[in-house]
Amino acid sequence: MGKVYIVGAGPGDPELLTLKAYRILKKADVVLYDRLVNEDILNYVNPLAKLVYVGKEDGKHTIPQEEINRLLLFYAKLYKNVVRLKGGDPFIFGRGGEEALFLERNGIPYELVPGVSSFYAVPEYGGIPLTFRGISSSFAVVTGHETVGKRKYVNWKAFKDIDTVVILMGVKNRRRIAKELINAGRNPYEPVAFVERGTTEDQRIVISTLKEVSENPPEVNPPAVMVIGNVVNLHKVLKEFNETGRFTYGALKDTPGRHTDT
């Protein structure tokens, strides 16, 4: 019986791979990888390894989870080093927990290798910090794909007072999400950013407001991270900062939501 490594591949930029992931990819006998794994990362895999694509389309699961589990079991019996490579971090909306549970139940040795998650790295590449002194002291990460079977399990009301809300898998439902957040009591004029294909060469940022997204949503293509909150306004400042190498608090004076007492 071999060992299964459940490995996070990071959000896209191959340099965001961890050294541990890199080392394990070099010794892999087989790699089962997802749609969100940047193909450039596959260049780092042991050239003799077998590559198996088990990508799932948003919404329609081309390969059911049970089938992926079955493949893990199959390859673990066949090879020494089986790598299950997932976008971002395996335990953040990646169903890595379910796979670990399956391996545990079947007595297959496994190891978890965390990855850099898109939820913070993608906004960061877009110049948006999830926390910022005086502007955001809390954030929440929520799925925009909120049903399991027919059961809805996101309580949008809970996000009224969280400073920054980050939504993964939210592109398709962006209009409804924006409506839910306004209904929950958030300010309709709050800025919203979508960072598409973050950390890759095709990264693109779309800035809007909750109101606009709820009424006339801008064109956005998945994968994208949706960020709601006043920190979104910082992307301009940080852009300027990156260009000039200078950062002045003065530039933040007009940022809505900046508390004057800090």
By CB under 6 A, tell whether 114 contacts ligand SAH: no
The nearer residue to ligand SAH, 82 or 225, going by C-beta atoms, is 225
Q: Is residue 144 a contact partner of residue 58, using CB atoms and an 8 Å limit?
A: no
Within 163-192, which residues bind ligand SAH (CB under 6 A)? Answer: 168-169
Q: Is residue 199 a contact partner of residue 117, using CB atoms and an 8 Å limit?
A: no
By CB under 6 A, tell whether 12 contacts ligand SAH: yes
By CB under 6 A, tell whether 72 contacts ligand SAH: no
Among 9, 30, 122, 232, binds ligand SAH (CB under 6 A): 122
Give CA–CA dist 1/128, Å, rounded: 45
Among 186, 223, 233, 255, binds ligand SAH (CB under 6 A): 223
The nearer residue to ligand SAH, 93 or 159, going by C-beta atoms, is 93
Active site residues: 34, 56, 169
Among 225, 231, 232, 234, binds ligand SAH (CB under 6 A): 225
Phi, psi of 81, rounded to the nearest 5 degrees = -115, 105
Give CA–CA dist 24/41, Å, rounded: 12
Give CA–CA dist 190/136, Å, rounded: 13
Minimum gap (Å) between residue 16 Cβ and ligand SAH: 10
Q: Which ranges of the chain does DSSP label H, i.e. alpha helix? A: 19-26, 65-78, 96-105, 118-125, 174-183, 210-215, 234-244
User: Which residue of this chain has its Cβ atom nearest to ligand SAH in the complex?
Assistant: 88
Which candidate, 186, 188, 204, 187, places its Cα nearest to that of 196? 204
DSSP structural state of residue 37: S
Query: Among 114-122, 154-162, 211-219, 236-244, which window interacts with ligand SAH (CB under 6 A)?
Result: 114-122
Minimum gap (Å) between residue 232 Cβ and ligand SAH: 15
The nearer residue to ligand SAH, 28 or 227, going by C-beta atoms, is 227
Angle (deg, nearest 10), helices 96-105 and 65-78: 50
Chain residues binding ligand SAH by CB under 6 A are 11-12, 36, 86-89, 92-94, 117-119, 122, 168-169, 195, 197-200, 222-225
